[in-house]
Amino acid sequence: MTILGYTRIFTDENDTSHFETCEITLEQTAYAPPADPLFTSSPEPATTTLFLELPAGWAGEWHPTPVRQWLILMSGECSFEVGSGEKRIAKAGEAILLEDMAGKGHRTVVLSDEPMRIAAIHLP
């Protein structure tokens, strides 16, 4: 068993967005026999997958996520700010679960000199 950490952005009962540090447990699985077993999470249904590119210096105004989605950061570095006032830096290789579908939402600013490339996986 191994643990994969990720950041969750969610909205509370007052429509204020917050960060939460979460974990997914990965269990050893015969995922692609005859290849040796590897570690996987439990399957999670998805509806759509797309790729995003945010240019260097891009700044998104406050907005809720349009859909519940995973963001898998592929390149670059950005800052997320949530309604509680907290900010976090996110870098390539990190996963973020966006669930702040109500209220003010979050704000994103690309900090790197290169574009931020993201795989977005929309969830039901």
> Residue 109: pLDDT band by 50, 70, 90 thresholds?
very high
Q: What is the pTM of this model?
A: 0.95
Gap between the terminal Cα atoms of the chain: 27
* Residue written as token pair 């795989």: 119
Number of domain units in the chain: 1
Give the pLDDT confidence of 14-26 residue by residue, as tens digits: 999 999 999 999 9
Give the CA angle between residues 29, 93, 51 to the nearest 5°.
95
**CB atoms < 10 A from the CB of 59, how many?**
11
Per the structure, the complete domain to which residue 105 belongs is given by 2-122
Q: Give the confidence band of 74 by pLDDT, cuts at 50, 70, 90.
A: very high
Which CATH number is 22's domain given? Answer: 2.60.120.10
Task: Give the chain's length.
Answer: 124
